[in-house]
Amino acid sequence: SLNTLIILAITAIQTILLSNLYSEKSFYCILAKYFVISIIFSYVFIIIYPQMGFMIYEDKLLPVGVYSHKNVLARFMVIATIIFMNDMIKSKNYIKKIVCLVFQILAVTLILLSQSITCIIWIIILVSANIMIVYKNRLFRVYIKIITLYCIIFNIFVYFISDPKISNIISNINIFG
């Protein structure tokens, strides 16, 4: 819609301006602090003020935290996970590595709770790619096989979900007799 396009344009312009005003390291630091604050306040909203921290989506109560929609929360948490993962890999400080790992876990938990399938798939791909980059000399073939397996499972999952005949058959299966 036009509103979304305008908001996207304003956000892009602000990002470009901020990235020109600050050095790359400072800009990255600002982003990391933003995500720390947004993760903390998202959990505060979800736990302490659930009227603002959740939304009803397809008759399910799903978290939104400080964002307006569950998918927006999940998209931002994917970016946060990338930033914290990158910080954890580059940092030599053991305490900073642990803090980054904690915030990665909190961000991925929000993604899983939001049930945003696209973002869950992105997290799987990004974590696999990051593992490949970090350990490219060791176990490279194993990670290629894991990513191939993810792709095969994803394609099978999409096939089952998109075919109404198969999804009707699966929904009619009574496991417990």
Which structure tokens are listed for 29? 């630091």
Q: How far apart are the C-alpha atoms of 97 and 130, rounded to whole Å?
A: 15
Residue 56, SS3 per DSSP: strand
Q: Indicate the pTM of the whole model.
A: 0.66
Sign of the alpha-carbon dihedral angle for 71, 73, 76, 80? negative
pLDDT per residue as tens digits for the range 69-97? 888 888 888 888 888 888 887 888 889 88
Q: How far apart are the C-alpha atoms of 26 and 39, rounded to whole Å?
A: 20
pLDDT per residue as tens digits for the range 113-128? 888 888 888 888 887 7
The pLDDT-based confidence of 40 (bands split at 50, 70, 90) is very high
Q: How far apart are the C-alpha atoms of 138 and 63, rounded to whole Å?
A: 38
